[in-house]
Amino acid sequence: MSKYDLIVIGGGPAGYVGAIRAAQLGKRVVCVEKERAGGTCLNWGCIPTKSLLRNAELYSLMQNHADEFGFSFDNLSYDWSKVISRSRKVSDRLAGGIEFLFKKNKVDYVLGTGQILEPGKVQVTDSSGQKNVLESEHILVATGCKTRAFPDLQFNGRSVVGSSEAMIMEKQPEDIVIIGAGAIGIEFAYFFNAFGTKVTIVEMMPNILPVEDREVSAELEKSFKKSGIEILSSTKVIGTRDLGDRIEIDVEKEGLAPSTIGAEVALIAIGVEPVLPADFDLELNRGYIVTDDKYQTNVPGIYAVGDIIGPPWLAHVASFEATQCVNGLFNGTQPKKVETFPGCTYCQPQVASVGLTEQGAEEKSLSFKIGKFPYQASGKAQAAGETEGFIKLLIGEPHGEILGAHIIGSEATELIAELGLAIESELTYEEIENTIHAHPTLSEMVHEAVGASTGHAVHI
């Protein structure tokens, strides 16, 4: 039995960040990971999908807009296997980087499945079945989530896949049905469509990206339809059939008679479900671990952070929670709970948001005004050939604080950071307006959107 100051179960963005932070505070730490450092995000989620999306973006740009930039090709083509292998190489490099960081910070890294036997004891079972018990007064659970299966349409890694299988398909499908239009479904829809696969999205809610501002969702839907993606919103799946080499799905769109759609592959993107590392009773809410204001579970000495404690299921939120929890444990600070956080979808055009949506502000009966600025009016966007989209800001009244920010367009996921800082720092629109933004940049649009809320925007 090995004794530690902290045992971390899970090596994803919550687990490895929490382990390294505890080691930085001088603690003896072990991180137990079932597969590979980096977890789902680095190995099967955030990072490899962005590699695939970059390939899709470049191919789409050259295929559809080369002439605008003065380029021409005799035979523009792509190698599907290289597209996929590049994504895997990126993940492998970064996973190796985290293993290096473990060594650098003297974090013990153990491959195996961690199971909490009782408070203070974690059993690790390696791939050969050998078991080892680790001991600590403090256990941090960061086991995350896995893809939620669709009832009556089980994953088979071939014709019915989740996001992990979708990013390593040996053969590009001719057509694909994506069930679920959250960030994962939307990113894969863009990726496959860019390379010529016929894509159909089925979403039971009225809008794609249902958590985003409705105006942004509508703009993205318009863009996707223009690129040839079929979108069935307000549509329920009422029946499924796996025919081996093809999937048939019966759908019912609100107000219409049921119909059947088919595809070579069905990608299930309806959400995630928790991965629990204990057989004894931890207090749960809809399957997710309940924690207090210090991220402690109902069992003293056992803490939980990241996806395992419920939404939002975001890597940057998981890392924040892990750092807050560990600082509270070993540095004597009061941990902060997540309040404001950015959400990003990396299709083209990109979507990013922070704070309240317009509908959310209305539901809270808040008084606000809107500042909006189109990419079309940005000199930098025109120069880059990226004129699709807009920035939309919700500004509270009478004090002028930023209630929410919503961006659809080029580099939206980079631009959102300034607005997250503005909300966290309780900046007013005047303080943003009085900050000089470099010209020509896309970030100037933030300045212009603030000005638009009072009729001061110069370029619209």
Catalytic site positions: 439
Q: Tell me the C-alpha distance between 259 and 268, whole Å.
A: 19
Contact 277, 146 (CB under 8 A): no
Contact 269, 283 (CB under 8 A): no
Residue position matching structure tokens 């971390």 = 8
Tokens representing residue 124 in the block: 């690790």
| Helix extents (H) in 105-206 | 163-166, 183-194
Long-range pairs for 336-344 at CB < 8 Å and ≥24 separation? Answer: 337/293, 338/312, 340/420, 340/423, 340/424, 341/312, 341/314, 341/316, 341/317, 341/420, 342/316, 342/416, 342/417, 342/420, 343/183, 343/211, 343/212, 343/312, 343/314, 344/183, 344/412, 344/413, 344/416
Per residue, the 3-state secondary structure of 399-432, as one string, reads: CCEEEEEEEECCCHHHHHHHHHHHHHCCCEHHHH
Tokens representing residue 86 in the block: 């590049």
Task: Give the CA count within 13 Å in the CB-facing half-sphere of 189.
Answer: 34
356-373 burial code (b ≥16 CB/10 A, e <16): bbbeebeeeeeebebbbb
> E strands within 78-120?
108-111, 113-118
Task: Give the CA count within 13 Å in the CB-facing half-sphere of 130.
Answer: 4
Residue position matching structure tokens 């299709």 = 347
Q: Is 250 left (phi over 0), alpha (psi -120 to 50) or beta?
A: beta
Is residue 274 reached through a cis peptide bond, with omega within 30 degrees of 0 on the bond before it?
Answer: no
Q: In this structure, is the dihedral angle defined by the CA atoms of residues 102, 104, 107 and 112, taken in order, positive or negative?
A: positive
Phi, then psi, of 96 in degrees rounded to 5: -65, -35
